[in-house]
Chains A and B, each alone.
Chain A
Amino acid sequence: MDLLQKIFYLIFSFDRDIYQIVLTSLGLTFFSISFATVIAVPLAFIIDFSNYKIKKFLIAFINSLTSLPTVVIGLIVYSFISRKGILGFTGLLFTPGAIVIGQTILAIPIITSTIVAGFSKIDSKLYETLKTLGADKRQIFLGIISETKILIVAALLFGFGRIIGEVGVSMMLGGNIKRYTRTMTTAIALETSKGEFEFALALGIILLLIALSINFIIHLFLKREDKWKRI
C-alpha cells in the first residue's frame, strides 16, 4: 500500500518533473499525428483511386510498413540526421523535432492503411453520387472525408496509439534529455532501469488515463454526429 500511496502522491501533487514529461509527450504526439494526417489522408485517396494493378501492391506495401519495429525506423532516421548522415547539417539529432519526424513516419502507414481498408467498403457509390451531383475534385475530397469521419477518427486513434507508447524512436532520436526530449516512455524506461518503480508506474498510470480520456472524448464526439452506419 505504501507503493500505491507514493504513486498517488506523484500523480496528484502535480510534481513538476512528471508533468513536464507528460506535456512533452502530448505535445510531440500532437505534432506527429497532425503531420502524419496531412500526408496519410491524401495518400489514402491516391492509393484508393489508383489503377487496380498498382493498388494491390501499394496496399501490401503500406501494410507491411505498419509492422516495422520502431527501433528500425529510429535507426534509419538516425542514420540520416546524425552529423555523419546526409541531413546531418540540420543538427536535428537529439532535438524534439527529430522525435516528431520519426513518429510521423511511424504513424503514416497505420493511418493510411486503416483509411484505405475502410474506403474499400464504402467508397465507390459515395464517390459516384458526389460526382454525378456536380462536385469538383476538391468537393469530392472534402465530401468523402466528411462522410467517413468516423473511419478517419478511428485511423487517427490507431496512429495515436502507435506513437504514444513507442520508445524506440523517442530514445534513439531524442536522447532522453531531461526537460527537453524526455517523453513518458523514455522516462519509464529510464526510471525502471534505475529501479524507481513508483515513478515509472505513476507515469504508466497517467499514460493509461490519457488514452482512456481521449477514447472517451472521441466517443462523445462521435455520438453527437449522426449515427450514420449504412454502407
Chain B
Amino acid sequence: METDIVYQINDFKFFFGKIQILDIKNITIKKNKIYGLVGANGSGKTTLMKILSGLLKTNKGGIYFKGLDIKKCNNILNKQTVYIHQSPYLFSGTVYDNMKYPLYLNKITNTDYDKIIENTLRQLEIQNLKNKNSYELSSGEIQKVAIARALILNREIIFLDEPTSNLDNKSIDVLKKTLIEKSRKNVTLIISSHNSLFLKDFCDEIIYLDNL
C-alpha cells in the first residue's frame, strides 16, 4: 500500500563536485521495517543516509519522502528522522546533559525529565554513566550515549551509521534488542554496517551499494 512507503528512490544520482557518489536505480523503504545498508568503504552509505535524513541537500530529483519530493522536505526531515554519526559528537557536560539537550531543543517541557532519561539509558544498559562527563567516556560508551540521545526523541525514522564499530559483543546484543523493540513500535530503522553477523537475522531487507 502506498501509505506504507517512507522513501521511494528512483534513478537518483548524486555528485560531489565532479565526482559521482551515488547512482541508484530503485530503492523502496517501507514503514516499520529494519533495513541493513551494506557496501564497501566509499560506496556512499553515509552520503545516502545523510541525504535521507536531511543533512545533505540535493538538487536532483528522484527521491520521495512519504510521497513528497525530498527537496521540499528540509524542515520536516529534521523533526521526523534522526541520524547518528559513525563517531558521534557529544556535547560538553554530562551524559545527563546530553540526554536533556534534545528534549530542550524540541521544546518538550511538560514531562518528568529524570524518568524519561533514566528509562532510555536503561534500554542500552548505560544508566550508570548518567553523571559522567562526556570527555571521560570510551568510544564505545560515546556510541551508546549518542544512540540513547537519539532514541529519546521517539522519532519514526532512525538512521544508524556503523553503530557497532566500537561496541563489544554484549553491547551489540543489547543494541539489537533495543532496536527490535523500537521497530515493533512503528519505527523504521536504516542501519549501515560491515558486520554481516549483526545484520543477518535482524534486518527485514538488505540494501547493497556498489562502488562507482
Q: Does B81 sit at the interface, judged by CB under 8 A? A: yes
Identify A228's interface contact among B54, B92, B153, CB under 8 A.
Answer: B92
Q: Are A134 and B92 in contact (CB under 8 A)?
A: no
Q: Are B85 and A128 in contact (CB under 8 A)?
A: yes
C-beta contact mask, B85-108 vs A, less than 8 Å → 1, else 0? 100110111000000011001100
Q: Are A132 and B54 in contact (CB under 8 A)?
A: yes
| Closest chain B CB from A133 CB (angstroms) | 5
User: Which residues from chain B contact A139 at a C-beta distance below 8 Å?
Assistant: 105
Identify B105's interface contact among A125, A134, A227, CB under 8 A.
Answer: A134
Q: Are B54 and A133 in contact (CB under 8 A)?
A: no
Q: Does A225 sit at the interface, judged by CB under 8 A? A: yes
Instruction: Tell me which residues from 119 to 157 in chain A have a Cβ below 8 Å from any Cβ of chain B.
Output: 125-126, 128-135, 139, 143, 147
Q: Does B43 sit at the interface, judged by CB under 8 A? A: no
Instruction: Tell me which residues from 181 to 231 in chain A have a Cβ below 8 Å from any Cβ of chain B.
Output: 225-230
Of chain A, the residue at the smallest CB distance from B101 is A133
A102 to B188, CA, bound (A): 57
**How many residue pairs bridge A and B at CB < 8 Å?**
59
Instruction: Tell me which residues from 109 to 161 in chain B have a Cβ below 8 Å from any Cβ of chain A.
Output: 133-135, 149-150, 153
Q: Are B55 and A131 in contact (CB under 8 A)?
A: yes
C-beta contact mask, B51-78 vs A, less than 8 Å → 1, else 0? 0011100000000000000000000001
A135 to B53, CA, bound (A): 14
Of chain B, the residue at the smallest CB distance from A139 is B105
| CB-CB under 8 A for A133 and B105, given A147-B91, A227-B135, A229-B135 | yes
| Closest chain A CB from B130 CB (angstroms) | 15
Of chain B, the residue at the smallest CB distance from A227 is B135
Of B79, B92, B150, chain A has the most CB atoms within 10 Å of the CB of B92
Identify A147's interface contact among B54, B92, B106, CB under 8 A.
Answer: B92
| Closest chain B CB from A226 CB (angstroms) | 4
| Closest chain A CB from B100 CB (angstroms) | 12
| CB-CB under 8 A for A225 and B101, given A125-B85, A128-B85 | no
A147 to B97, CA, bound (A): 13
Q: Are A132 and B92 in contact (CB under 8 A)?
A: no
Of chain B, the residue at the smallest CB distance from A226 is B92
| Closest chain A CB from B139 CB (angstroms) | 10
Q: Are A132 and B82 in contact (CB under 8 A)?
A: yes
| CB-CB under 8 A for A125 and B54, given A131-B78, A134-B102, A227-B135 | no
User: Which residues from chain B contact A227 at a C-beta distance below 8 Å?
Assistant: 135
| Closest chain A CB from B120 CB (angstroms) | 14
Q: Does B83 sit at the interface, judged by CB under 8 A? A: yes
User: Which residues from chain B contact A126 at a C-beta distance below 8 Å?
Assistant: 89
Q: Are A132 and B91 in contact (CB under 8 A)?
A: no
Q: Are B150 and A226 in contact (CB under 8 A)?
A: no
Q: Are A132 and B133 in contact (CB under 8 A)?
A: no
A230 to B134, CA, bound (A): 9
Of A130, A134, A143, chain B has the most CB atoms within 10 Å of the CB of A134
A135 to B82, CA, bound (A): 12
Q: Which residues of A contact B (CB under 8 A)?
A: 125-126, 128-135, 139, 143, 147, 225-230
Inter-chain pairs besides A129-B91, A225-B92, 8 sampled, C-beta below 8 Å? A125-B89, A129-B85, A131-B54, A131-B55, A133-B150, A134-B79, A143-B105, A226-B135
13 contacts between A and B (CB under 8 A): A131-B78, A132-B53, A132-B150, A133-B102, A134-B79, A135-B78, A143-B105, A226-B93, A226-B134, A228-B92, A228-B134, A228-B135, A230-B134
